[in-house]
Amino acid sequence: MIDTAIRPRLSSMEAAWVIARRDFVAVLFSRAFLFFLLGPLFPVIVGGLAGSIGGEVQRDAVSFEVGVAMNPADTAKMVAAGERLAPQLPFALPVLQPVPEAAKDPAFDARAFMEARRGNYAAILTGSPQSPVLVGTEGQIARWQGPVSLIAGHALAAEPAAFPPVSADLVTTSAADERTTRVQTAQIAQMLLFLLTMLLAGMVLSNLVEEKANKIIEILAAAIPMDAVFMGKLFAMLGVSFVGITVWGLAGFALFGGAGEVITRMTGFDITNLPAPAVGWPLFVVLGVLYFAMAYLLLGALFLTIGSMATSVREVQTLSMPVTMLQLMVFFLAAYTIKQPGSGLEMAAMAFPLSSPFAMLARAAMEPQLWTHALALAWQALAVVGIVKAGSLLFRKRVMKSGGAGRDKRRKGGRLPA
Amino acid sequence: MDMAVSDHMAAGNVGEGFSAVPADGRPLAIEARGLVKSFDGTRAVDGVDISVPEGAIYGILGPNGAGKTTTLRMLLGIIDPDEGVRRVFGHDRPHDIGRLIGYLPEERGLYPSMKCIEAIAFMGALRGLPLKEGRKRAVDLLERHGLGHATDRQIRQLSKGMAQTVQLLGTLVHEPRLVVLDEPFSGLDAINQGKLEMMIRALADDGVTVIFSTHVIHHAERLCEGVAIIAGGKVPYAGSVEAARDRIPAQVRLETRAREGAWLSALPAETRRNGDFFQFPLPESGIEPLLKGLIEGEAGILSLSIERAGLHDAFVAIAGEAAARALQADSEEANA
């Protein structure tokens, strides 16, 4: 009867593998996974639409036009001077527009016109080029006072100023430029890491809720140690996440390959111009994958602990809210410390397990040292094991309290747990 | 059925530590001493002692909420006891010999989208059986239990009884030496209960130790060599079924032609009249002196039978009327 060729127990790794293999296959070949893969499309579409509409609204709402209500000759001089200067100072100068109402009405009152909220001018320029008067709110006057003075000066000049061409001699980088631009890489990497973690870690939670709903958890707990169950689930979901990221990555690559220029034009952001991180792109990508794995495992382990203790989906949602908030807070902490290298706050962000992957990825973008990453990864792995151990302990202590019959009876008559 | 199970009265009658071998020489599959488990300050299990020899069918009998599931979970290492010690095949940590154990929990559970063959193979894999071998055995097991047609069906497509059978087969696929079943008969109709009883007997015939919890006395009485009666988290009796029944004197049922007479004085003081019958416990002195008194007093014996006490009577005597009523209520509820 007894097959002696088989060892009396599975090792923790083997047990975790049995769970991981089942979960990975089950999730990957489920319809839910297809929807999950399509998931990021929705925020992209909504974000794109919102961005486009927002841009339109902003263009309509933010006016760069300054009305000119001088006598016709002065108005023409000012507009011509503005147009001459505009190519030299793009975005710095207002667009000067003659106010039609002023041309028709010699007694035009710019102040009353502005207060009546007529027109769409940032401010109205009256007086003369020798003595220009800017009518507008305090903020608009502060913004346009200097540029208007410059235009007026040019309008008064007898000869138009000559603008000698400036030759360019490019250097690839400078210390100041490097630091400033790498912050951008760090911020984008952190944001990407955060979004992926939040998007994917929720899967662990739903997986465990399903497990509880199917009531199979006790079979697992009886057969193998609970921490092996947790580990198996975590790594299965991590595997699924990598599949998801690979699919999204390939889709993104194909999208940029086909429509990169259009996207760059639409968004005004050229990903190919993103500054190289301090550790170099290849290592940065490797570290990014490792820190994603750690961030995912840390958050997943927390979610798993919560999910295992909850008795219903509603309870899971309620309990997971504080963890999500905590995750947001640690992300903000890590994001805040990017510009404070070497500060106590940055050290705290690197040491606290949940914020550590975010802070360290930013550091990889900013600083070239590698040993800190080895240390951080080891620390984060230790934290994952710690949380999983604590979670399984809690599970054994708090969850397996009663048989179904005992629970029924307690509801009916308040008897002891079975 | 032999009297193999080491009889003992729980808590107090058992010596400290473990006895490696019971009185009949068979090694113990399970041995637990002084198991205590509290939840939220309430003692769910309060000093349970159990000894189950290898190859025995052993029942844990008690009403719902008595502590059966918690006891089984402690024996299997799903939870740890607050106090006391347990050993399964001599091991303190049951997970270390997970390959030798099969467990069917009270709350049945399978992955609904899994095929039967995969579900059984997966449960085997949890116990160390390679998936390929698990699938091979699953096909064989399903065939043997009349579910060959359902091999590639998803669990969600099965009836409740069929799904329960699949789970039981998953519990057995790795050929364990100890099978632990928590309320295995609940939710089954009479036919499937009968089939399950046959499966349990077949396992025992193969030398497998079977321990199951139940609140239905008949299952324990029909199947078990030994029982632990559990009520309120305590085990007032653990030992053989025979010994439990022997704790209650046999009942004598007497019918006489005469209604009155001197022979009445020969009846014991505990005699109850039930219609035309007199009923009383068999006197310690035996039946012969009683018969002599009845004959000499011209009672005119029409019938006399001696009935051995059942496990139910033993349960009442051991666990008390309240526990017996609760057990009866649970049993009726389950049947309903």
Q: With an 8 Å Cβ cutoff, are A403 and B129 in contact? A: no
**H-helix or E-strand containing B233?**
none
How many residue pairs bridge chain A and chain B with CB atoms within 8 Å of each other?
A: 146
Report which residue type is found at B234: K
What number of other Cβ atoms are within 10 A of residue A54's Cβ? 12
Q: Which residue has the tokens 């009297």?
A: B3
- Minimal Cα distance from B127: which residue of A? A223
For range A398-409, the mean pLDDT = 53
Q: Which residue has the higher pLDDT, B86 or A167?
A: B86
Q: Could you tell me the pLDDT band of residue A400, with boundaries at 50, 70 and 90?
A: low
- Is some CB atom of chain B closer than 8 A to the CB atom of A216? yes
| Residue ranges of A 383-402 with Cβ closer than 8 A to chain B | 396-397, 400-402
- Minimal Cα distance from B168: which residue of A? A219
Question: Would you put residue A214 in left (φ > 0), alpha (ψ -120 to 50) or beta?
Answer: alpha
Q: Which of A176, A174, A179, A172 is nearest to A368 (CA)?
A: A179
Strand B226-231 and strand B57-61: the pairing is parallel
Tens-place pLDDT, residues B2-55: 333 344 333 333 333 444 445 567 899 999 999 999 988 888 999 999 999 999
Q: Which residue has the higher pLDDT, B64 or B335?
A: B64
Lowest-confidence segment of A87-91, A327-331, B177-181, B297-301 by average pLDDT = A87-91
* pLDDT at residue A325 is higher than 80: yes
Tens-place pLDDT, residues A272-303: 777 778 888 889 999 999 999 999 999 888 88
* pLDDT at residue B238 is higher than 70: yes
Would you state the pLDDT for residue B37? Answer: 92
For range A249-259, the mean pLDDT = 82
- DSSP-derived secondary structure letter, B27: P
Q: With an 8 Å Cβ cutoff, are B39 and A30 in contact? A: no
> How far does A36 lie from chain B, in Å, by closest CA?
18
Would you state the pLDDT for residue A132? Answer: 92
- Minimal Cα distance from A15: which residue of B? B126
Residues on chain B touching A403 (C-beta within 8 angstroms) = 64, 68-70, 106-107, 182-183
Report which residue type is found at A291: Y
> Helices A72-85 and A138-156: crossing angle, nearest 10°?
90
Q: Could you tell me the pLDDT band of residue A175, with boundaries at 50, 70 and 90?
A: low
pTM of the model: 0.73
What number of other Cβ atoms are within 10 A of residue B4's Cβ? 18
Lowest-confidence segment of B58-67, B144-153, B324-333 by average pLDDT = B324-333
Supply B231's token pair.
């009520």
Tens-place pLDDT, residues A31-43: 878 887 887 777 6
Q: With an 8 Å Cβ cutoff, are A219 and B68 in contact? A: no
Strand B28-39 and strand B42-53: the pairing is antiparallel
Q: How does the average pLDDT of chain A come out, rounded?
A: 81
Q: With an 8 Å Cβ cutoff, are B65 and A405 in contact? A: yes
Would you state the pLDDT for residue A197? Answer: 85
Would you state the pLDDT for residue A409? Answer: 42
Report in angstroms the alpha-carbon separations of A413 from A408, B28, B333: 9, 37, 15
- Substitution target in B80, B97, B127 with the highest count of A β-carbons within 10 Å is B127
Nearest to B109 among A30, A216, A400 (CB): A216
| Distance separating alpha carbons of residues B285 and B282, to the nearest angstrom | 8
Residue length of chain B: 336
**H-helix or E-strand containing A250?**
helix A226-267
Tens-place pLDDT, residues A53-103: 655 555 555 567 899 999 888 999 999 998 888 888 877 888 898 998 888
Q: With an 8 Å Cβ cutoff, are A1 and B175 in contact? A: yes
> How far does B256 lie from chain A, in Å, by closest CA?
47
Residues on chain B touching A222 (C-beta within 8 angstroms) = 73, 76-78, 101, 103, 105
* pLDDT at residue A25 is higher than 50: yes
Residues A138-173, buried b or exposed e (16+ Cβ, 10 A)?
Answer: eebeebbeebbebbbebbeeeeeeeeeeeeeeeeee
Q: With an 8 Å Cβ cutoff, are A403 and B107 in contact? A: yes
Q: Could you tell me the pLDDT band of residue A413, with boundaries at 50, 70 and 90?
A: very low
Q: Could you tell me the pLDDT band of residue A165, with boundaries at 50, 70 and 90?
A: confident
For range A372-399, the mean pLDDT = 89
Tens-place pLDDT, residues B270-305: 888 887 789 888 888 888 999 999 998 889 999 999
CA A131 distance to own-chain centroid: 49
Tens-place pLDDT, residues A188-229: 888 888 888 887 777 777 777 777 777 788 899 899 988 899
Tens-place pLDDT, residues A101-143: 888 888 888 888 888 878 788 899 999 999 999 998 888 888 8
Residues on chain B touching A9 (C-beta within 8 angstroms) = 95-99, 128
Q: Note whether A99 and A67 are within 8 A (CB).
A: yes
The alpha carbon dihedral of A29, A30, A34, A37 has a sign of negative
Q: With an 8 Å Cβ cutoff, are B208 and A401 in contact? A: no
| Distance separating alpha carbons of residues A295 and A298, to the nearest angstrom | 5
Q: With an 8 Å Cβ cutoff, are B64 and A406 in contact? A: yes
Residues on chain A touching B208 (C-beta within 8 angstroms) = 1
Please give the angle made by the CA atoms of B62, B63 and B64, to the nearest 5 degrees: 120
- Full strand arrangement of the beta sheet holding B83-88: B42-53, B28-39, B83-88
- Substitution target in A23, A33, A214, A308 with the highest count of B β-carbons within 10 Å is A214
Q: Which of A385, A401, A27, A417 is nearest to A218 (CA)?
A: A401
Q: With an 8 Å Cβ cutoff, are A214 and B111 in contact? A: yes
- Minimal Cα distance from A410: which residue of B? B65
Supply B317's token pair.
């005597």
Q: Please spell the DSSP secondary structure of A324-365, one letter per residue.
A: HHHHHHHHHHHHHGGGSTTSHHHHHHHHSTTTHHHHHHHHHH
Supply B246's token pair.
């022997």
Q: Note whether A218 and B104 are within 8 A (CB).
A: no
| Distance separating alpha carbons of residues A358 and A303, to the nearest angstrom | 18
Nearest to A418 among B68, B79, B95 (CB): B68
Q: How does the average pLDDT of chain B come out, rounded?
A: 86
Backbone φ and ψ of B239, nearest 5°:
170, -160
Q: With an 8 Å Cβ cutoff, are A401 and B39 in contact? A: yes
3-state secondary structure of A131: coil
Supply B200's token pair.
């349990």
Supply A204's token pair.
């662990």
Residues on chain B touching A6 (C-beta within 8 angstroms) = 99, 128-129, 174
ipTM over 0.85: no
Nearest to A8 among B97, B113, B125 (CB): B97
Q: Which of B19, B106, B36, B109 is nearest to B71 (CA)?
A: B36
Supply B288's token pair.
């012969």
Q: Note whether B74 and B227 are within 8 A (CB).
A: no
Q: With an 8 Å Cβ cutoff, are B67 and A401 in contact? A: no
Would you state the pLDDT for residue A13? Answer: 92
For range B66-93, the mean pLDDT = 92
- Minimal Cα distance from B79: which residue of A? A396
Would you state the pLDDT for residue B23? Answer: 54
- Is some CB atom of chain B closer than 8 A to the CB atom of A274? no
